[in-house]
Amino acid sequence: MTAAAPSLPAILGPIRPRPRGRETRLLVIVAVTILVGSVSLELARRVTDPGESQGLSPANPLHLAIYLGLIGIAHVVLILSGRRMDQILLPATAMLGGISLLLMERLPQTQVVQSVGPWTLGLGDIQLAWLILSFSLATILAVTVRSDRWLRLYKYTWAAAGVGLLVATYFLGDDINGQRLSLSLGPISGQPAELLKVILVVFLAGYLSEYRPLLVEESTKVGPISLPPLPFLAPMVAMWAIALGLVVVQRDLGAALLFFTVFLCLLYAATGRVGYVVVGVVLFLAGSFVMYHLVATVQTRVDIWLDPFKSASGDGYQIVQSLYAFARGGLLGTGLGAGLPTVGGNLPIPAVHTDFPLAALGEELGLVGVMAILGLFLVVVERGLRIAASAADEFRALLAAGLALVIGTQALIIAAGNLKLIPLTGITLPFVSYGGSSLLVNGIIVGLLLALSDRGVEPPPPPRPRSRLARLTGRVTRLETPDRARAPLPPAREPGR
Amino acid sequence: MSAEGRTPARPKPLGQTIAHVGLALTVAFAGIALGAGYWQVLRSPDLSRAPDNPAVIAAARNVVRGLIVDRDGKVLASNKRSTTTGEPYRVYAHRSFSTVIGYATTDFGTAGLERSWNAELTGVSNRDPIGDVLRKFRSDPYDPQKLTLGISSALQQAAIDGLGDDRGAVVMLDPTTGEILALASTPTYDTNAIANPKTSRDAFAAILDDRSKPLLTRATQGQYVPGSVFKIVTAIAGVGSGKITATTTFANQPAAERDGLVVGGFRIHEHPGVPARSFNLAAATEWSSNIWYALAGMRTGGDNLVTFASRMGFGQALPFDLPTAASQVTGGGGGAPGGFADDTELANASYGQAETLVTPLQMALVAATVANGGTLMRPHLVIATTGRDGTRTIAPEQMAVVIDPDQASVIADAMQRAVESPIGEQFTTGAKVPGVPTAGKSGTAELGGSGAPHSWFIGFAPVDHPRVVIAVIVERGGRGGARAAPLAGDLMALFFKTFGR
């Protein structure tokens, strides 16, 4: 590799504050909304007859103050950084995080209990800690990342690291419910698949931006379908294999679906070819069909999806309870804290804090609340895609689009699963679900998106010579031999050779 | 990017493709919102009432359930509080209602109306979307509803007493509204013992072990061979399809009364005592001629028979306040029209043997169809609910228009002769209500083997403007005229005595 070493993120330069008026106004709305929610929750707790315990936890005003204070600090730091960054992303995600905090405060704190030193932390405490870390990470990345070289230049390294994580999880991971999703490193454990999402987007953005012109060439014909030169199909097949591998090895259907969807979206964005997406969907369906017959987990999930009410007290229990929760909410909801009736002290949906937060919110905030939450995700996606569309070069565009798609697609998949629109897959609702890995990675995504949105960011490096691997693969295609001129390689590559 | 020369396939601008992706995601989010709307608005009422919905279960433990009263306001189900735990439990006034009202317990679930109307009785739903929205703004979200049944306690008790130690069922209803006046099934059981927390465990275990299956609501879930009462279904299908009229006769019928009718190699025999005369619809009905009805059924055709039967509810569970079993004309799956195996099965089904199975409620609906001029009203037990916001009356609802009024009156005349003519009277002894024109049809369901047949009767009165329809079955009760017909006559007489002419 002859490429320049990646420049480390520059530390804060001289402070030149730049006002962020829109962000300020939106954050005030967020703060007021969350405060109103917290008051409503407290009122619900007080009127609830203690005899019929709803499993309501006392709201902790300190938690809320810490959270809102943290968002305020993040806002001030962004102002002080003087960068011209997007002003919608932080308020939108802060709102989602605030809703999450309200929900986790309201659920029985014993859902998750951890002991750290002398303290025993409950659900709300831990979620607050992760939210703090997540938004801190977002802010730090937003302020410090001034170059994307460290992502751009090492796409294969990143890809290798991602696959390495996956392999490590398989061999070293902790077995929970027959799924091997988390990896422990000393006292810290996390789900590498979460980080893999970002790594994958980085790799895809790098790969697709480099080979974009070649991918559009039609050199392989399979019947009526035109495909890109065969070697460039390799990543598509590789993605497909990784997705299937996730299903077979880790039983992680949600991550598999997410990766593949994001991949197809990015492939379309890079090539504009609907045909590729069609081929991808066909591959996906074929893979799903085989998986359905080979992997018991997949079969169970699909059967539950087709008729959960048939096994309402067995396999279909959670999804049926989720639908009951949505139904109880109706149009306007029961009100925060007035839903989720407990029977014998048990929550109706055991995994409500990880997999079904939308069902809980759908019950307490109603259809109106669900629409608002979906709207927030749509806003995040829209901002991300907007950053992508106005990015300085293709890598950044695809990177920003991919990062936004990760959040948007993940929200879609779990929401659709909760609502029985697709088979349920256990992934988190970004920023809302309980879970450290997920929150941290979402923080990274927002931080990167904010950094990418700065028009003053370092200009992209000049197109660089193609890597050795690409030269190798390029030679195999027919492009090289008959008509070199067709290879849309810029002249700038010559000196680097 | 500066591509050299012509590029036959240039990628679309990224801005454009990214916008497409954005559009696709927006559509997907809209789809999710629609899905949420489906569950939260369209399906909300029925899912919120589901018995295994935790809101319903939680409410059932804490809320004092609404009362259940009969049509005169007499309390049938009320509440007491446990002296030990303070939790409320149910108290039932009459054992005769056990198979209708069922029971509600905290540990052994619910049955009967207590189950199907659980959401209203506990007050988590009142079947009124706007009311449900308003309910959320109240400090007490539970609004237990009082249920008013159309059943008359006097008729119900008389029906239970009339069945006595026999197993069987009685259904009485108002054909013009579909209101159920009595829904008796025997044996009954002690719902108080199940509802009382002190005795519920033992009582529940005993009921489950009881070989007479008292938990089975025979009136709605018992599937019986109908015998001759099914001839009314054949008459409805024949007259309704135009294949049969009041004057239809069959040339080969008189001889077959004596020698039997050969259909597909199978010989159908008449029951003893029927003369070898040519019958029309009325005569065939008063003599209860198997031969004439077999011929009528074959002329009507299997598909017509099944179609008209299904208009009255055959083939699927009936829409009702309690679980119902489906009645069937044929086991289905056969190659002949209507799903019959062959003409032999059709001919036998036409007079109620073969694969035909019916519930007492279904046969009451058949009689109600004739009584109400061919228009069937949906049967219902609960006629009103009363909560904080007042009383909601459950309006009569049309279930189907089966035949025309003049077609119905042809069959009604035949059924009146089956009860009131000197010949008919022999088969339906005791069904006639003194002083009231009465119509009906008895049935003797042969079960094979040595046991006594099931005794059936369906009928209505007064013939000119029917106010009460009845269906009676007494298991192993003998001929229709032996057990079911006199009981039906007594119960209809009691109806007119109670409610006037």
- ipTM of the complex as predicted: 0.85
pLDDT at B207: 85
Residue positions counted in chain A: 497
Name the token pair of B295.
């011929």
Tens of pLDDT along A151-196?
A: 888 877 887 887 787 777 777 776 665 556 666 665 556 777 788 8
Pairwise CA distance, residues B411 & B236, whole Å: 7
pLDDT band at B264 (very low <50, low <70, confident <90, very high): confident
B57 touches chain A (CB under 8 A): yes
Q: Are A398 and A155 in contact (CB under 8 A)?
A: no
Measured between CB atoms, does A115 come within 8 Å of chain B? no
CA–CA separation, A138 and A132 (whole Å) = 10
User: Which helix (DSSP H) or strand (DSSP E) does residue A328 occupy?
Assistant: helix A317-329
Q: Does A137 touch chain B (CB under 8 A)?
A: no
| Residues belonging to chain B | 501
b/e for A429-442, b at 16 or more Cβ within 10 A? bbbbbbbbbbbbbb
Q: Name the CA radius of gyration of chain A, rounded.
A: 24
pTM: 0.70
Q: To which residue do tokens 């009936």 refer?
A: B318
Of chain B, the percentage scoring pLDDT greater than 70 comes to 94
Pick A419's closest partner by Cβ from B32, B52, B132: B32
A415 vs B contacts (CB less than 8 Å): 32, 36
Q: How many angstroms separate the CA of residue B23 from the nearest CA in chain A?
A: 9
Residues 6+ apart with CB under 8 A from A495: none
**Quick check: B36 contacting A, CB < 8 Å?**
yes
Three-state SS at A24 = helix
Pick from B4, B25, B44: CB nearest A330: B44
Query: In the prediction, which pLDDT does A496 show?
Result: 36
- The predicted model gives B84-108 an average pLDDT of 88
Q: How far is B388 from chain A (nearest CA, A)?
A: 19
Contact yes or no for B14 and A269 at CB 8 A: yes
Q: Average pLDDT for residues B202-227, to the nearest whole number? A: 89
Distance between CA B427 and CA B195 in Å, rounded?
44
Q: Which range, of A472-481, B96-105, B128-137, B308-317, averages the lowest pLDDT? A: A472-481
Interface of A with B in 402-441 (CB under 8 A): 405, 408-409, 412, 415-416, 419-421
Average pLDDT, chain A: 80
Percentage of residues in chain A with pLDDT exceeding 70?
76
3-state secondary structure (DSSP) of residue A225? strand
- Tell how strand A179-185 and strand A220-222 pair up: unpaired
The per-residue pLDDT for B131 is 60
Phi-psi region of B127 (alpha: psi -120 to 50; beta: other; left: phi over 0): left
Residue A115 phi/psi, 5-degree rounding, is -105, 125
User: Which of A334, A421, A449, A484 to probe by mutation at the B interface, max B CB count within 10 Å?
Assistant: A421
- CA–centroid distance for B426 within its chain: 29
Residue A131, pLDDT above cutoff 50:
yes
- Condensed to tens digits (0 to 9), the pLDDT of residues A49-81 reads 544 445 566 667 889 999 999 999 999 999 998
**CB of A331 less than 8 A from some CB of B:** yes
Q: How far is A15 from chain B (nearest CA, A)?
A: 34
Tokens of B129: 């979307």
Tokens of A155: 């796409």
Residue A323, chain B, CB below 8 Å: the answer is yes
CB contact under 8 A, A370 and B47: no
Which amino acid appears at position B5 of this protein?
Answer: G
- Name the least confident of A23-27, A305-309, B217-221: A305-309
User: pLDDT > 90: what percent of chain B?
Assistant: 61
